[in-house]
Chain A
Amino acid sequence: MDIIWILLEALIKAVVILNLILLFAAALGVWAERKVSAWIQNRIGPNRVGPFGLLQPFADVFKLFMKEDLIPKAADKTFHRIAPIITLGIAISVYAVIPFADDVKIGDKIYQMGIAPDLNIGILFVLALTSVGVYGITLAGWSSNNKYSLLGGLRSSAQMISYELSMGLALVGVLMIAGSLSLNEIVSKQDVIWRWNVIFQPLGFILFLVSSFAETNRTPFDLPEAEPELVGGYNTEYSGMKFGMFFLAEYANMATSSAIIVLLYFGGWQLPFPADWLGLQQGSIALAVAQFINFMLKIAILVFFFIWVRWTVPRFRYDQLMNLGWKVLLPLALLNVLLTAVGIWLLK
Chain B
Amino acid sequence: MNIRKNSEAERLSFWEKLYLPEIAKGMGITFRQMFKPKFTRQYPEEVWIPTGSYRGRPVLVNEDDGERCVACGLCSRVCPALAIEVQAAETDRDKERYPEKFEINMLRCIYCGFCEEVCPEEAIVMSKDYDLVFTSQEEAILGKDKLLVHISKLQDRLEFLRQYK
State whether A312 touches B26 (Cβ < 8 A).
yes
Report the nearest B residue to A44, measured CB to CB: B40
Q: Which residue of chain B lies nearest to A313 when distances are taken between CB atoms in the complex?
A: B23
> Is the Cβ of A308 less than 8 Å from the Cβ of B33?
no
Chain A nearest CB from B12 CB (Å) reads 13
Residues of chain B in range 1-37 having any CB-CB distance to chain A below 8 Å: 20, 23, 26-27, 29-31, 33-34, 36-37
B38 at the interface (CB under 8 A from A): yes
Instruction: Considering the complex, give the chain B residue whose CB is closest to the CB of A316.
Output: B19
Which residue from chain A places its CB closest to the CB of B26 in the assembled complex?
A: A312
Q: Contact check, B38 vs A43: say whether CB atoms are below 8 A apart.
A: yes
Q: Is A62 an interface residue (CB 8 A)?
A: no
Whole-angstrom distance between the Cβ of A201 and the nearest chain B Cβ: 16
A297 close to B (CB within 8 Å): no
Closest beta carbon of chain A to B159's beta carbon, Å? 34
In the bound complex, residues from chain A placing their C-beta under 8 Å from that of B40 are 42-44
Q: How many residues of B contact A (CB 8 A)?
A: 15
Contact B30 A40 (CB under 8 A): yes
Instruction: List residues of chain A with CB within 8 A of the CB of B37.
Output: 42
Closest to A305 in B: B27
- B31 to chain A: which residues have CB within 8 Å? 308
How far does the alpha carbon of A311 sit from the alpha carbon of B26 in the complex, in Å?
Answer: 10
Q: Please determine whether B38 and A311 come into contact, CB atoms closer than 8 angstroms.
A: no
B38 touches A40 (CB 8 A): no
Query: Which residues of chain A come closer than 8 Å to B27, judged between CB atoms?
Result: 308-309, 312-313
A78 within 8 A of B: no
Interface extent on A, as a size class? 10 to 19
Report whether A42 and B30 are in contact in the complex, using a CB–CB cutoff of 8 Å: no
B39: chain A residues within 8 A (beta carbon)? 42-43
CA distance A206 to B19 in the complex (A): 12
Residues from chain A with a CB closer than 8 A to the CB of B33 are 39-42
Measured CB to CB, the closest approach of chain B to A326, in angstroms, equals: 16
Is B23's CB under 8 angstroms from A44's CB?
no
On whether the beta carbons of A312 and B20 are closer than 8 Å, the reply is no
Residues of B within 8 A of A39 (CB): 33-34
Which residue of chain B has its CB nearest to the CB of A48?
B42
A36 is an interface residue with CB less than 8 A from chain B: yes
* CB-based nearest A residue for B25: A312
Which residues of B have CB within 8 Å of A308? 27, 30-31
Q: Which of B53-82 contact A (CB under 8 A)?
A: none
B26 in contact with A44 (CB, 8 Å) = no
Determine the distance from Cα of A309 to Cα of B23 in the docked complex, in whole angstroms: 9
Nearest chain A CB to B43 CB, angstrom units = 11
Whole-angstrom distance between the alpha carbons of A309 and B31 in the complex? Answer: 10
Contacts of A309 in B (CB 8 A): 23, 27
Which residues on B sit within 8 Å (CB–CB) of A36?
A: 34
14 intermolecular pairs with C-beta atoms under 8 Å apart: A36-B34, A42-B37, A42-B39, A42-B40, A43-B38, A43-B39, A43-B40, A44-B38, A44-B40, A206-B20, A309-B23, A309-B27, A312-B23, A312-B29
Please list the 8 inter-chain residue pairs (A to B) with the smallest Cβ-Cβ separation, ordered nearest first. A39-B34, A44-B40, A312-B30, A40-B30, A312-B27, A312-B26, A42-B39, A43-B40
